[in-house]
């Protein structure tokens, strides 16, 4: 619900908005609103009245840099997971396997010429987790949003077709 409070804009407030817009980098509208003790929509509306346009160039550049940084971090994680998956798979082919065994309530390290079932299950769980994480990371980097939008539009089209099929021939009210 919109506030019915009338804002008495002063020339001092207008000058602050203009100064903030011309500042390099410009102060965000949210920070301007906070400094004036007003809502973002109120300040945005006044900026529009004053003819102040927002320069989104720096915000776009910062967002793009964050995306690139996140993609770089994901690539590092993918490399690490791929190495870990390879190491775990290689561990299944060794002729000597080091494991812990319990003897009279005490764990002892020992070397066996086979991989105990418990260790095989642990390795399989690790490999499954790594592979699932790799698959999700690859999907993140491959997704441009088009697939989701296409899926959503297809769903809307199906709903409209279903509604149209249920509608009587002579219109919704029989007219």
Q: Is residue 175 part of a domain?
A: no
Number of domains present in the structure of the chain: 2
CB atoms within 10 A of CB 17: 21
Q: 45 and 90: one domain?
A: no
95 phi and psi angles, rounded to 5 deg: -90, -20
- pLDDT score for 147: 63
Q: Is residue 99 part of a domain?
A: yes
Residue 83: which domain range? 79-137
Q: Is residue 159 part of a domain?
A: no
Q: Is residue 61 part of a domain?
A: no
Q: Where are the beta strands (DSSP E) in the chain?
A: 97-103, 106-112
Query: pLDDT tens for residues 103-144?
Result: 888 999 999 888 888 888 988 998 899 898 888 888 877 766
Are 168 and 174 a contacting pair, CB within 8 Å? yes
- pLDDT score for 174: 54
- pLDDT score for 146: 63
Are 116 and 99 a contacting pair, CB within 8 Å? yes
- pLDDT score for 34: 93
Q: Is residue 149 part of a domain?
A: no
- For the cut 80, the answer to whether the pLDDT of residue 170 exceeds it is no
Query: pLDDT tens for residues 51-91?
Result: 988 777 777 888 888 888 888 888 898 899 899 888 888 88
């Amino acid at each position: 619900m919109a506030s019915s409070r009338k804002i008495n804009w002063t020339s001092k407030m207008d000058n602050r908005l203009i100064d903030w817009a011309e500042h390099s980098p410009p102060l965000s509208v949210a920070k301007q609103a906070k400094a004036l003790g007003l809502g973002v929509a109120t300040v945005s509306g006044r900026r529009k009245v004053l003819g102040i346009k927002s320069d989104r160039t720096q915000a776009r550049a910062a967002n793009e840099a964050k995306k690139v940084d996140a993609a770089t971090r994901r690539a590092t994680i993918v490399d690490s997971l791929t190495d870990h998956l390879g190491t775990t798979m290689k561990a299944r082919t060794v002729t000597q396997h080091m494991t812990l065994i319990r003897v009279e309530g005490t764990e002892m390290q020992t070397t066996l010429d086979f991989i105990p079932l418990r260790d095989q299950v642990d390795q399989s769980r690790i490999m499954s987790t790594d592979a699932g994480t790799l698959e999700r990371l690859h999907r993140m980097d491959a997704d441009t949003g088009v697939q989701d939008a296409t899926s959503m539009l297809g769903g809307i089209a199906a709903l409209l077709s279903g509604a149209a099929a249920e509608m009587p021939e002579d219109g919704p009210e029989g007219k």
